[in-house]
């Protein structure tokens, strides 16, 4: 809101320079964003919070300034000399919807239409309002000055000289001042004549009763409208006017009569007309007196500072509150009609606090009565990041919004998406998030993309939404750092699997690999299901060649995605230290040639079966194909490890166990070399 200092000074003495005023207003809660110009030419740009509609005008700010500087708010000139027949003879006002309009004031003005005097035009222009004609300009001037919107009807264009305030009827419409034909619905308020709506209540006047150069008599309306009704209607019609902005935030019901008087007063003063006797004031319900009790002890407890009672009372009185006598339960404070935002004691305390000065409140720290800390899942999530970052992956955070209809899986749809933002919530971190991230980075010339994300995905669940925490990983490009000394190799399945194994080992996650469904865009022959407690929690594998072609990816891309909520929550068993072995262990290598279709884990199982309980562990320590190995076969090096905690192994028993393993493997057609 723009506020010329010169206008402000008509209402209150301001003993400081504009910049100081700007700081003081800001620290009292009326944020001044900028000061243009100097001295009395200066204009303040205020950003008034939505609750302070009473300060969205010159007089409201002047009231605050008067409290800040201990000066007086000058009274507003509204005295009138009325002439002609009583106003009530010219216009009848009926309120059919008192819940929409608790108060409706009107005056009848005989006018000489024409341009406004220069001072009035300039003042309106200084606050960004376009001058139109003297009558319209005065309604705008008074709205900017004291905050209450009003509207001028051409009395001659009001059929039957009767205004009815009511809810719109089905199928009704009104052409508003901006020339737009508005189709109305139930729940929208109108001011109507006998034949239909004339004006959109509290938002915009109608074209049919608009004042023009030919207007001789004006019905000047100033009402108080139900804020939710105005807000709903303005939103439904996509309208936002100076009037609706104020009424939907709650105007001052007592200002309606004053606004008409002020406009009439100024009309006479600029020589643009006269005012007929009497105020038409229709008020279905008596005004509500509102008050709250203010207790000094409560004020001290909430603010954490002692504000002298006299100081608190002076602040409230200066702001227009009626401060009662100090009684045992506190002071009863009457709330002024323009302060719809104030209802209870805490609100009064805020008023005192902001004018006493927040800087006068000493800082303290609340005593800690309980232990704080991260929860298990939060600590585990940090550890996941530590492990993956340590393994050379960059963390990314991608949007929860994804394009609609991305995959067959049902997704949660945003009912009101932004025009250029996707409209569904993600069900996976990898598709499309990490894949899209890969593509973008490939386009920028990044060759090795190793990324992960930990975040929520959203799945429809009945009429609700199930949020799950996922971990997504993507590897592409080189499988180990590129250096000047060694050839690199491409990332492969075992890099992805190794990361999953690393996480399982470091976090104590009981993850196993198994068979199960993987998404259609995953390579069926280079992937695995991830299981925890026998339940599928995700997958790891290569992106399907078809999907990779569709995405125009270069080289093979490996991903893993798993649901981690339960894993993060679970408390892994503490590590227990075992005594170190005091006797030497023994390792034996077996060089095997076997059918390429035999899985390594089967071999390991066979070796264990044949070798018996003495065998501690078996490791695949080499794998070969090519020259030395017949077509369709692979060479594998198995390392058998023996270790007894309490004794030294004899070579005979080890030999017997190794031979057992060899027999078991041979029985399955595995050729043993060098035995």
Partner 1 sequence: MAETAGDLKARLAALRAEFGEALARARDAAELQAVRDRFLGRKAGSVTQLMKTLGGLAADARREAGQALNEAKVEFEARLETARAAAEACARKERLARDRVDTSLPGRMPWQGRRHPLTTVREELEDIFVAMGYEVYDGPEVEDDYHCFEALNMPRDHPARDMQDTFYLAGTGGLLLRTHTSTSQIRYMLENPHPPEVRIICPGKCYRRDAPDLTHSPMFQQIEALVVGPGISLGDLKGTIEAFLHALFGEEHPVRFRPSYFPYTEPSVEVDLGCVACGGNGCRVCKGTGWLEIMGSGMVNPAVFEAVNARLGRVVYDPEQVTGFAFGLGIERVAILRHDVGDIRLFYGGDLRFLEQFR
Helical H segments across 149-241, by residue range: 227-237
Pattern 214-233, partner 1, x by CB under 8 A: -------------xx--xx-
Question: 243 to 282, contacts with partner 1 by CB under 8 A?
Answer: 248-249
Structure tokens that stand for 522 in this block: 């995953």
| Binding status of residue 372 toward partner 1 by CB under 8 A | yes
Locate all alpha helices (DSSP H) within 152-308, ordered by sequence: 227-237, 242-247, 255-269, 296-303
Strands 394-395 and 449-461: parallel
| In contact, 387 and 434? CB cutoff 8 Å | no
| Residues in 429-468 that interact with partner 1 by CB under 8 A | 433, 436-437, 440-441, 444, 446, 449-452, 455-456, 458, 460, 463-465, 467
List CB contacts of 427: < 8 A, sequence separation 6 or more: 407, 409, 411, 457, 458, 459
- Integer angstrom CA distances of residue 476 from 396, 450, 454, 604: 15, 6, 18, 30
- How many residues of this chain interact with partner 1, rule: CB under 8 A? 97
Q: For partner 1, which is the closer residue by CB, 77 or 465?
A: 465
Distance of closest approach, residue 141 Cβ to partner 1, in angstroms:
25
Nearest-angstrom CA–CA distance, 239 and 606? 78
Show the site string, 292-331: x = touches partner 1 by CB under 8 A, - = not: ---------xxxxx--------------------------
Using rule CB under 8 A, residue 365 touches partner 1: yes
140 interacts with partner 1 by CB under 8 A: no
Which is nearer to partner 1, 28 or 529 (by Cβ)?
Answer: 28
User: How is residue 39 annotated by DSSP?
Assistant: G
Binding of residue 130 to partner 1 (CB under 8 A): no
CB hemisphere CA count around 489 (13 angstroms): 5
* 26 or 126: CB nearest partner 1: 26
Please report whether residue 404 would count as binding partner 1 according to CB under 8 A: no
With CA atoms as reference, report the closest residue to 88 among 102, 104, 101, 107: 107
Q: Does 581 bind partner 1 (CB under 8 A)?
A: no
Residue 561, interface with partner 1 (CB under 8 A)? no
Q: How far apart are CA 378 and CA 373, in angstroms?
A: 10
Q: Does 389 bind partner 1 (CB under 8 A)?
A: yes
Q: Which residues pair with 191 in a beta bridge?
A: 165, 199
CB nearer partner 1, residue 332 or residue 588: 332
Question: DSSP letters along 498-533, please?
Answer: HHHHHHHHHHT--EEEE-----TTEEEEEEEEEEET
Q: Does 631 bind partner 1 (CB under 8 A)?
A: no
- For position 413 contacting partner 1 by CB under 8 A, the verdict is yes
Q: Is 390 in the site for partner 1 (CB under 8 A)?
A: yes
349 touching partner 1, by CB under 8 A:
yes
Nearer to partner 1 by Cβ, of 177 and 478: the residue is 478
Q: Binder to partner 1 among 10, 17, 51, 506 (CB under 8 A)?
A: 51
Q: What length is written for the chain?
A: 675
To partner 1, the closest distance from the beta carbon of 146 in angstroms equals 20
Our finding on whether 393 is near partner 1 (CB under 8 A) is: yes
Nearest to 106 by CA among 241, 261, 328: 261
17 is written with which tokens?
């320079």
Which residue stretch of 1-9, 152-160, 381-389, 666-674 sits at the interface with partner 1 (rule: CB under 8 A)?
Answer: 381-389
2 in contact with partner 1 (CB under 8 A):
no
Alpha carbon distances (Å) from 62 to 57, 136, 440, 441: 9, 24, 56, 57
Considering only the stretches 154-162, 209-217, 380-388, 665-673, report the one whose residues sit in contact with partner 1 under the rule CB under 8 A: 380-388
In the bound state with partner 1, the residue whose beta carbon lies nearer, of 2 and 439, is 439
Cβ nearer to partner 1, comparing 554 with 673: 554
């Amino acid at each position: 809101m723009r506020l010329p200092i010169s206008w402000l000074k008509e209402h209150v003495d301001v003993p400081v320079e504009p910049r100081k005023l700007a700081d003081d207003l800001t620290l009292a809660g009326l944020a001044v964003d900028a000061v243009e110009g100097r001295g009395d030419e200066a204009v303040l740009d205020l950003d008034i919070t939505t609750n302070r509609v009473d300060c969205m005008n010159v007089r409201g700010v002047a009231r605050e300034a008067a409290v800040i500087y201990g000066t007086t708010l000058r009274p507003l000139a509204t005295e009138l000399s009325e002439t002609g027949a009583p106003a009530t003879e010219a216009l009848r006002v009926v309120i059919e919807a008192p819940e929409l309009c608790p108060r409706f004031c009107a005056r009848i003005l005989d006018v000489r239409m024409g341009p406004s005097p220069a001072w009035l035009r300039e003042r309106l222009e200084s606050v960004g309002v376009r001058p139109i004609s003297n009558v319209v300009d005065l309604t705008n001037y008074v709205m900017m000055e004291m905050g209450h919107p009003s509207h001028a009807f051409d009395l001659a264009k009001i059929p039957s000289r009767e205004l009815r305030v009511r809810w719109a009827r089905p199928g009704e419409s009104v052409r508003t001042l901006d020339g737009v034909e508005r189709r109305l619905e139930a729940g929208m308020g109108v001011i109507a004549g006998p034949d239909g709506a004339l004006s959109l209540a509290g938002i915009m006047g109608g074209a049919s009763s608009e004042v023009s150069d030919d207007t001789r008599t004006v019905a000047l309306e100033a009402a108080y409208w139900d804020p939710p009704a105005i807000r709903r209607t303005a939103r439904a019609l996509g309208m936002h006017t100076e009037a609706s902005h104020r009424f939907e935030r709650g105007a001052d019901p007592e200002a309606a009569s004053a606004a008409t008087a002020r406009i009439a007063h100024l009309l006479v003063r600029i020589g643009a007309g006269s005012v007929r006797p009497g105020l038409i004031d229709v008020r279905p319900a008596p005004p509500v007196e509102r008050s709250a009790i203010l207790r000094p002890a409560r004020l001290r407890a909430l603010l954490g500072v002692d504000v002298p009672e006299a100081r608190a009372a002076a602040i409230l009185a200066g702001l227009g509150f009626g401060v009662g006598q100090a009684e045992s339960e506190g002071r009863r404070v009457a709330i002024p009609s323009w302060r719809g935002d104030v209802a209870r004691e805490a609100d009064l305390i805020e008023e005192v606090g902001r004018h006493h000065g927040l800087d006068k409140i000493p800082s303290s720290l609340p005593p800690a009565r309980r232990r704080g800390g991260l929860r298990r899942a939060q600590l585990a999530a940090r550890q996941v990041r530590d492990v993956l970052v340590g393994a050379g992956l960059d963390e990314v955070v991608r949007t929860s919004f994804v394009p609609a209809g991305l995959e067959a899986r049902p997704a949660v749809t945003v009912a009101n998406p932004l025009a250029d933002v996707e409209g569904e919530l993600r069900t996976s971190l990898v598709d499309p998030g990490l894949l899209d991230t890969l593509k973008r980075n490939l386009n920028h010339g990044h060759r090795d993309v190793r990324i992960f994300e930990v975040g929520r995905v959203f799945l429809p669940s009945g009429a609700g939404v199930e949020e799950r925490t996922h971990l997504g990983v993507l590897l592409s490009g080189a499988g180990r750092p590129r250096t000047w000394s060694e050839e690199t190799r491409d990332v492969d399945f075992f890099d992805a699997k190794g990361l999953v194994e690393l996480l399982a080992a470091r976090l104590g996650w009981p993850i196993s690999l198994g068979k199960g469904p993987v998404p259609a865009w995953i390579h069926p022959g280079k992937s695995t299901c991830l299981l925890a407690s026998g339940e599928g929690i995700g997958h790891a594998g290569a992106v399907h060649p078809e999907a990779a072609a569709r995405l125009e990816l270069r080289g093979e891309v490996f991903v893993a995605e798993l649901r981690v909520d339960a894993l993060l929550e679970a408390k892994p068993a503490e590590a227990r230290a075992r005594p170190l072995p005091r006797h030497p262990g023994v390792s034996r290598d077996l060089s095997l040639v076997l059918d390429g279709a035999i899985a390594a884990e089967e071999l390991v199982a066979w070796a264990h079966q044949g070798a018996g309980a003495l065998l501690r562990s078996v490791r695949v320590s080499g794998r070969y194909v090519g020259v030395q190995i017949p077509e369709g076969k692979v060479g594998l090096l198995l390392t058998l490890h023996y270790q007894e905690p309490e004794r030294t192994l004899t070579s005979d028993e080890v030999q017997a166990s190794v031979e057992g393993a060899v027999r078991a493997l041979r029985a399955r057609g595995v050729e043993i070399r060098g035995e």
